[in-house]
Protein backbone atom coordinates (compact mmCIF):
# COMPACT_ATOMS: atom_id res chain seq x y z
CA UNK A 1 0.00 0.00 0.00
CA UNK A 2 1.21 3.48 -0.83
CA UNK A 3 2.24 5.70 2.03
CA UNK A 4 0.06 8.53 3.23
CA UNK A 5 2.48 11.07 1.73
CA UNK A 6 2.13 9.46 -1.70
CA UNK A 7 -1.63 9.41 -1.32
CA UNK A 8 -1.58 13.04 -0.25
CA UNK A 9 0.42 14.02 -3.31
CA UNK A 10 -1.92 12.05 -5.57
CA UNK A 11 -4.98 13.68 -4.01
CA UNK A 12 -3.47 17.13 -4.53
CA UNK A 13 -2.82 16.27 -8.17
CA UNK A 14 -6.39 15.05 -8.61
CA UNK A 15 -7.98 17.96 -6.70
CA UNK A 16 -5.73 20.94 -7.43
CA UNK A 17 -5.87 23.71 -4.89
CA UNK A 18 -7.70 21.66 -2.27
CA UNK A 19 -6.54 22.24 1.28
CA UNK A 20 -5.73 18.66 2.22
CA UNK A 21 -3.31 18.42 5.12
CA UNK A 22 -1.68 15.47 6.83
CA UNK A 23 -2.26 15.32 10.59
CA UNK A 24 0.69 13.63 12.25
CA UNK A 25 0.14 11.05 14.96
CA UNK A 26 3.16 10.81 17.28
CA UNK A 27 2.10 7.48 18.84
CA UNK A 28 4.05 4.31 17.90
CA UNK A 29 1.14 3.20 15.70
CA UNK A 30 1.93 6.09 13.32
CA UNK A 31 -1.65 6.13 12.11
CA UNK A 32 -1.52 9.54 10.45
CA UNK A 33 -4.66 11.05 9.04
CA UNK A 34 -5.82 13.37 6.28
CA UNK A 35 -7.76 16.52 7.04
CA UNK A 36 -10.22 17.17 4.22
CA UNK A 37 -11.78 20.48 3.20
CA UNK A 38 -15.55 20.41 3.74
CA UNK A 39 -16.47 21.56 0.26
CA UNK A 40 -14.66 18.72 -1.48
CA UNK A 41 -14.91 16.03 1.18
CA UNK A 42 -17.57 13.96 -0.53
CA UNK A 43 -15.82 14.04 -3.90
CA UNK A 44 -12.57 13.00 -2.24
CA UNK A 45 -14.42 10.22 -0.44
CA UNK A 46 -15.81 8.92 -3.72
CA UNK A 47 -12.31 9.05 -5.15
CA UNK A 48 -10.92 7.08 -2.20
CA UNK A 49 -13.65 4.47 -2.58
CA UNK A 50 -13.39 4.03 -6.34
CA UNK A 51 -9.70 4.53 -7.04
CA UNK A 52 -8.33 1.17 -8.24
CA UNK A 53 -5.16 1.43 -6.17
CA UNK A 54 -7.04 2.12 -2.95
CA UNK A 55 -10.56 0.64 -3.19
CA UNK A 56 -11.42 1.76 0.33
CA UNK A 57 -14.84 0.17 0.18
CA UNK A 58 -15.28 -0.37 3.90
CA UNK A 59 -15.77 2.48 6.35
CA UNK A 60 -15.28 0.85 9.69
CA UNK A 61 -15.52 3.51 12.32
CA UNK A 62 -17.05 6.98 12.38
CA UNK A 63 -16.73 9.10 15.43
CA UNK A 64 -16.59 12.65 16.65
CA UNK A 65 -14.07 14.45 18.81
CA UNK A 66 -14.81 17.65 20.68
CA UNK A 67 -12.03 20.24 20.92
CA UNK A 68 -13.23 23.11 23.09
CA UNK A 69 -11.72 26.55 22.90
CA UNK A 70 -8.45 26.60 24.78
CA UNK A 71 -5.88 29.14 25.77
CA UNK A 72 -2.35 28.31 24.71
CA UNK A 73 0.58 30.01 26.37
CA UNK A 74 3.70 30.06 24.25
CA UNK A 75 7.06 30.97 25.69
CA UNK A 76 9.68 32.45 23.40
CA UNK A 77 13.23 32.86 24.65
CA UNK A 78 15.38 35.58 23.18
CA UNK A 79 19.02 36.03 24.05
CA UNK A 80 19.98 39.64 24.58
CA UNK A 81 23.75 40.32 24.50
CA UNK A 82 25.01 42.52 27.26
CA UNK A 83 26.32 45.80 25.78
CA UNK A 84 28.89 46.05 28.57
CA UNK A 85 30.45 42.79 27.38
CA UNK A 86 29.17 40.56 30.19
CA UNK A 87 27.19 37.35 29.90
CA UNK A 88 24.13 37.63 27.65
CA UNK A 89 20.75 37.58 29.40
CA UNK A 90 17.88 35.39 28.33
CA UNK A 91 14.56 37.16 28.18
CA UNK A 92 11.44 35.01 28.29
CA UNK A 93 8.38 36.39 26.63
CA UNK A 94 5.02 34.70 27.14
CA UNK A 95 2.34 35.17 24.55
CA UNK A 96 -1.17 33.91 24.97
CA UNK A 97 -3.39 33.00 22.10
CA UNK A 98 -6.80 31.43 22.05
CA UNK A 99 -7.26 28.42 19.83
CA UNK A 100 -10.85 28.41 18.63
CA UNK A 101 -13.01 25.42 19.50
CA UNK A 102 -14.06 22.95 16.87
CA UNK A 103 -15.77 19.63 16.38
CA UNK A 104 -14.03 16.92 14.44
CA UNK A 105 -15.37 13.86 12.66
CA UNK A 106 -13.01 10.93 12.11
CA UNK A 107 -13.54 8.12 9.61
CA UNK A 108 -11.47 4.93 9.59
CA UNK A 109 -11.40 3.43 6.12
CA UNK A 110 -10.27 -0.04 5.09
CA UNK A 111 -10.37 -2.01 1.90
CA UNK A 112 -12.01 -5.41 1.82
CA UNK A 113 -11.32 -5.84 -1.89
CA UNK A 114 -7.55 -5.53 -1.65
CA UNK A 115 -7.20 -5.95 2.13
CA UNK A 116 -5.41 -2.79 3.15
CA UNK A 117 -5.85 0.09 5.49
CA UNK A 118 -6.46 2.01 7.56
CA UNK A 119 -6.70 5.37 5.86
CA UNK A 120 -8.02 7.87 8.36
CA UNK A 121 -9.81 10.98 7.17
CA UNK A 122 -11.02 13.88 9.26
CA UNK A 123 -13.31 16.83 8.82
CA UNK A 124 -13.48 19.84 11.09
CA UNK A 125 -16.31 22.25 11.68
CA UNK A 126 -15.78 26.01 11.83
CA UNK A 127 -16.79 26.35 15.46
CA UNK A 128 -18.90 24.58 18.06
CA UNK A 129 -22.12 26.59 17.88
CA UNK A 130 -23.10 27.96 14.48
CA UNK A 131 -20.97 26.38 11.80
CA UNK A 132 -21.39 22.74 12.76
CA UNK A 133 -22.37 21.38 9.35
CA UNK A 134 -20.19 18.88 7.50
CA UNK A 135 -21.13 16.86 4.42
CA UNK A 136 -22.50 13.43 5.17
CA UNK A 137 -20.56 10.49 3.77
CA UNK A 138 -23.52 8.11 4.03
CA UNK A 139 -24.00 8.32 0.23
CA UNK A 140 -20.47 6.95 -0.11
CA UNK A 141 -20.47 4.30 2.61
CA UNK A 142 -23.77 3.05 3.96
CA UNK A 143 -22.11 2.09 7.26
CA UNK A 144 -21.95 5.79 8.16
CA UNK A 145 -25.72 5.95 8.45
CA UNK A 146 -26.16 5.02 12.11
CA UNK A 147 -22.72 6.18 13.20
CA UNK A 148 -23.23 9.68 11.79
CA UNK A 149 -26.58 9.79 13.54
CA UNK A 150 -24.75 8.94 16.72
CA UNK A 151 -22.22 11.73 16.18
CA UNK A 152 -25.11 14.12 15.51
CA UNK A 153 -26.83 12.94 18.67
CA UNK A 154 -23.90 13.00 21.06
CA UNK A 155 -21.75 15.80 19.59
CA UNK A 156 -24.16 18.01 17.67
CA UNK A 157 -22.45 17.81 14.28
CA UNK A 158 -25.01 18.29 11.50
CA UNK A 159 -24.45 16.09 8.44
CA UNK A 160 -25.73 17.71 5.27
CA UNK A 161 -27.20 15.15 2.91
CA UNK A 162 -27.83 12.44 5.48
CA UNK A 163 -31.01 10.57 4.57
CA UNK A 164 -32.43 10.30 8.08
CA UNK A 165 -30.69 12.56 10.58
CA UNK A 166 -32.41 12.00 13.92
CA UNK A 167 -31.25 11.30 17.44
CA UNK A 168 -30.39 7.65 17.86
CA UNK A 169 -29.31 6.92 21.42
CA UNK A 170 -30.85 9.79 23.36
CA UNK A 171 -34.58 10.38 23.13
CA UNK A 172 -35.96 12.79 20.57
CA UNK A 173 -36.92 15.53 23.03
CA UNK A 174 -33.44 15.68 24.53
CA UNK A 175 -31.83 19.08 24.09
CA UNK A 176 -28.07 18.91 24.68
CA UNK A 177 -25.18 16.85 23.30
CA UNK A 178 -23.76 14.69 26.08
CA UNK A 179 -20.36 13.85 24.64
CA UNK A 180 -19.25 17.47 24.46
CA UNK A 181 -16.60 18.32 26.98
CA UNK A 182 -18.60 21.19 28.51
CA UNK A 183 -21.81 19.21 28.89
CA UNK A 184 -23.42 19.60 32.30
CA UNK A 185 -25.85 16.88 33.21
CA UNK A 186 -29.27 17.97 34.43
CA UNK A 187 -30.22 17.68 38.09
CA UNK A 188 -33.06 15.34 37.33
CA UNK A 189 -32.96 13.20 34.22
CA UNK A 190 -36.38 11.79 34.91
CA UNK A 191 -38.26 15.10 35.06
CA UNK A 192 -40.86 15.51 32.41
CA UNK A 193 -44.03 17.56 32.25
CA UNK A 194 -46.89 15.47 33.55
CA UNK A 195 -50.63 16.09 33.66
CA UNK A 196 -50.12 16.56 37.37
CA UNK A 197 -47.95 19.63 36.75
CA UNK A 198 -50.45 21.02 34.27
CA UNK A 199 -53.30 20.63 36.79
CA UNK A 200 -51.31 22.41 39.48
CA UNK A 201 -50.56 25.27 37.13
CA UNK A 202 -54.23 25.60 36.24
CA UNK A 203 -55.19 25.63 39.91
CA UNK A 204 -52.62 28.32 40.63
CA UNK A 205 -54.08 30.53 37.94
CA UNK A 206 -57.64 29.82 39.04
CA UNK A 207 -57.18 30.58 42.74
CA UNK A 208 -55.26 33.80 43.31
CA UNK A 209 -52.54 33.42 45.91
CA UNK A 210 -53.79 36.30 48.05
CA UNK A 211 -57.54 36.75 48.13
CA UNK A 212 -58.76 40.39 48.33
CA UNK A 213 -60.44 39.59 51.66
CA UNK A 214 -57.04 38.87 53.27
CA UNK A 215 -55.82 42.40 52.61
CA UNK A 216 -58.42 43.73 55.00
CA UNK A 217 -57.40 41.30 57.80
CA UNK A 218 -53.59 41.16 57.78
CA UNK A 219 -53.43 38.71 60.67
CA UNK A 220 -55.22 35.86 58.92
CA UNK A 221 -53.13 33.18 57.05
CA UNK A 222 -53.57 34.14 53.42
CA UNK A 223 -53.31 30.81 51.70
CA UNK A 224 -55.70 29.02 54.07
CA UNK A 225 -58.61 31.25 53.16
CA UNK A 226 -57.66 31.25 49.53
CA UNK A 227 -57.69 27.49 49.16
CA UNK A 228 -60.39 26.70 51.69
CA UNK A 229 -63.11 28.66 49.96
CA UNK A 230 -62.96 28.12 46.25
CA UNK A 231 -65.31 30.37 44.34
CA UNK A 232 -68.57 28.66 43.54
CA UNK A 233 -69.05 27.69 39.93
CA UNK A 234 -71.18 30.03 37.90
CA UNK A 235 -74.84 29.08 37.97
CA UNK A 236 -76.46 28.50 34.63
Partner 1 sequence: MSDSGPSSFSPLVSAPGPTVRPVHDPLHGDLLEVSMGPHHPSTHGVFRMMVTLDGERIMKLKPVFGYLHRNHEKIGENTTYLGSMPYTDRLDYFCSMTNNWAYALTVEKLVGQTVPERAEYLRVILAELTRLLNHTCLAGFLLQDTGASGTPLMYAFREREKILDLFESLSGSRMMCNYQRFGGCRVDASPEWIKAAQQVVANYGEFLDEYEALITGNEILMARTQDVGILSPELAVSAGITGPMLRATGVDYDLRKVDGYGIYPRFEFRIPLGDHGDTYDRYMIRVLEMRESIKILEQAFRDLPGGPVMDPKSKLRGFRPKPGESYGRIEGPKGEIGFYVISDGSPNPYRYRIRPPSFVNLTILEDMCLGQTVADAVIILGSIDIVLGEVDR
Q: Would you count residue 186 as binding partner 1 (CB under 8 A)?
A: no
Q: Would you count residue 140 as binding partner 1 (CB under 8 A)?
A: yes
**CA atoms of 209 and 148, how far apart (whole Å):** 51
* Binding span for partner 1 by CB under 8 A among 14-22, 81-89, 171-179, 215-223: 171-179
Identify which of residues 26 and 86 has a Cβ nearer to partner 1 in the complex: 26
CB of 154 to partner 1, least distance (A): 8
Q: What is the DSSP letter of 227?
A: H
Q: Which of 15, 18, 60, 226 binds partner 1 (CB under 8 A)?
A: 60
Residues between 97 and 126 with contacts to partner 1, criterion CB under 8 A: 106, 108, 112, 115, 118, 120
Q: Which of 4, 59, 119, 132 binds partner 1 (CB under 8 A)?
A: 59
Residue 233 C-alpha from the chain's centroid: 54
**Cβ of 134: how many Cβ atoms within 10 Å?**
25
* Binding span for partner 1 by CB under 8 A among 9-17, 130-138, 193-201, 228-236: 130-138
Contact 28, 10 (CB under 8 A): no
Q: What is the DSSP letter of 54?
A: T
Q: How far apart are the first and last CA of the chain?
A: 89
Contact 137, 59 (CB under 8 A): yes
Q: Would you count residue 165 as binding partner 1 (CB under 8 A)?
A: no
Burial class (CB in 10 A: 0-12, 13-18, 19+), 36: buried
* Binding span for partner 1 by CB under 8 A among 73-81, 94-102, 156-164, 227-235: 156-164
Q: Would you count residue 46 as binding partner 1 (CB under 8 A)?
A: yes
Query: Whose CA is closest to 102, among 82, 74, 122, 77?
Result: 122
* Binding span for partner 1 by CB under 8 A among 2-10, 93-101, 177-185, 211-219: 177-185
Report helix, strand and coil shares of the chain as percent, to nearest 5: 25, 25, 50
Q: Would you count residue 57 as binding partner 1 (CB under 8 A)?
A: yes
What residue ranges bind partner 1 (CB under 8 A)? 25-29, 31, 38-43, 46, 57-61, 63, 65, 106, 108, 112, 115, 118, 120, 133, 135, 138-143, 145-147, 154, 160-161, 163, 167-171, 178-179, 183
Amino acid sequence: MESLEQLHARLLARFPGAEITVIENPAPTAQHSLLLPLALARDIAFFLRDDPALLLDYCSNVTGVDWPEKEITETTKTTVPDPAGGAPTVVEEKTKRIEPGKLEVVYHLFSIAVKQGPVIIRMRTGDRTNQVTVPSLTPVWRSCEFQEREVFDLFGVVFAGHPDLRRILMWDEFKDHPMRKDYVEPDDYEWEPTPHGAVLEKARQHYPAVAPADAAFPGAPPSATATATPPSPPQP
